[in-house]
Homo-oligomer: A and B are copies of this chain.
């Protein structure tokens, strides 16, 4: 993949001076069109070999365009807040919003390549990383991002020459560190491994763009023109307002209309006295578990979903009552803010992921995508169809980094919901809980049940299983939830012991 970037591409100073003013003007125009359109972000990855002019190129693009609409972000060693979350968390933090350009200097490619070059990771680790990257970029592209991945290349000879030149000049010698020479030593291995990674992650929606880094003028104009063309093309497409090409695959629709939720025995109850004793016991148990020293290596992500009035709030409070207030946070999912709307769908959930030793309880969650958004038509069919995979991937990342994912679907009968709605209307301090929207949603009961059944089928996984909770008896539901949660934590602690 690097052959064309070792040809000695050059652009004369005269040619550069002729091209530059118009290119700058055009880039600025495109940038303003992007900012005005504000329907997609541009994500530029800056990668490649040392000494190939990555830093200078970032500086030049910053100088050519309006820096107010560019988010340049460089990744150093991860902080402890980052280390305590899935590795991708730090990149989610740095994504540019729609209408802006993000230049990521170092990216999700850096660690997998370096770790493999220096043999801190095995071949299969690299393959797993590549798959995860492909998922991420697929999702970003589906969310509308324009992704440009620049790889700045130098031949071995050119890299040696470049490092020596920099070192010889007292004004630039600071740029060359022993680390650079360390990298030069493993040039061939680095070449081989990066080529593999580039090959396996160059896709139609996120292609690699290899640029020869030896000649600054050539490099600047190549990057500038590539960026310009890509932005123009996308803006043009948006103007055409073509429908999306992707057609989702159909879901299984059982002809007998029978689904997993129908099989739940909603008649299950627990006697008050037994409930009181069990509640106290389980809360103490959970409290002790979360105070064990080894709990500090885990985080817990709880998701509560269910029809309106299914008892999510009450159940959550029975859980939090046993937790140290310093350990948990409840995140109720309401309408997204404008900063959230300008990001991929999952962004507003990523931002609340807990550190190790902490709980985050989502009162409603990312599953809104395949429930309310599906049913109300807030997103296209293709969008909620791909969400199942995106969600599984998200939860897998949480689990892989030591997170315990517990998802509860609280199931009530349609009659029980009606009873609770009516109760709420007469109890003054519960009136806020019942709105016209609740009555409207109730009319779509069957659609919600079907969507929930699809959701459970497609997102109940080994690392993040759904627990279906019969919730006509609130107390029974609460005990079930506390038991499940305590067991999940216990199992996790045991498996690591």
Contact = CB atoms under 8 A, between A and B. Distances in A.
Contacts of A325: 54-55, 58-59, 72, 74, 105
B55 A324 contact: yes
Interface residues of A, number: 59
A330 B67 CA distance: 8
Contacts of A337: 337-339
9 contacts: A58-B325, A62-B317, A73-B329, A74-B327, A80-B80, A171-B283, A174-B284, A337-B337, A337-B338
Given A62-B320, A80-B80, A171 B432 contact: no
A236 interface: no
A58 B321 CA distance: 10
Interface of A: 21-22, 24-25, 28, 32, 54-55, 58-59, 62-64, 66-68, 72-76, 79-81, 105-106, 170-172, 174-175, 280-281, 283-284, 287-288, 291, 313, 316-317, 320-321, 324-327, 329-330, 332, 334, 337-339, 355, 363, 428-429, 432
Count of identical protomers in the assembly: 2
A284 to B, nearest CB: 4
A351 to B, nearest CB: 11
Given A325-B74, A326-B106, A429 B25 contact: yes
Given A68-B334, A105-B326, A429 B28 contact: yes
A59 B317 contact: yes
Given A68-B332, A80-B79, A428 B21 contact: yes
A233 to B, nearest CB: 21
A136 to B, nearest CB: 22
Q: Which 8 residue pairs of A and B lie closest in terms of their CB atoms, listed nearest first?
A: A74-B326, A68-B332, A25-B429, A171-B284, A25-B428, A24-B429, A55-B325, A80-B80
A313 B28 CA distance: 15
Nearest to A287: B174
A481 B139 CA distance: 44
B280 A171 contact: yes
A317 B334 CA distance: 41
Contacts of A428: 21-22, 25
Contact of A432 (B21, B32, B81, B326): B32
A68 B363 contact: yes
Contacts of A329: 72-73
Nearest to A283: B171
Residue of A174, A320, A428 ringed by the most chain B CB atoms within 10 A:
A174
Contacts of A80: 79-81
Contacts of A332: 67-68
Given A67-B330, A68-B334, A80-B80, 17 more contacts: A32-B432, A59-B317, A59-B325, A64-B429, A67-B363, A68-B332, A68-B363, A74-B324, A74-B326, A76-B326, A105-B326, A172-B284, A175-B287, A337-B337, A337-B339, A338-B338, A338-B339
A161 B22 CA distance: 80
Nearest to A20: B429
Contact of A284 (B63, B106, B170): B170
Contacts of A63: 317
Contacts of A339: 337-339
Residue of A170, A320, A325, A355 ringed by the most chain B CB atoms within 10 A:
A325
A79 B76 contact: no
Contacts of A320: 59, 62
A3 B80 CA distance: 44
Contacts of A81: 79-81
A265 B339 CA distance: 44
A21 B431 CA distance: 13
Nearest to A175: B287
A432 B36 CA distance: 13
A105 B329 CA distance: 12
Contacts of A73: 329
Contacts of A105: 325-326
A63 B281 CA distance: 21
Contacts of A74: 324-327
Nearest to A58: B325
A321 B105 CA distance: 15
Nearest to A320: B59
Nearest to A285: B171
Nearest to A172: B284
A175 B160 CA distance: 63
A107 to B, nearest CB: 12
A63 to B, nearest CB: 5
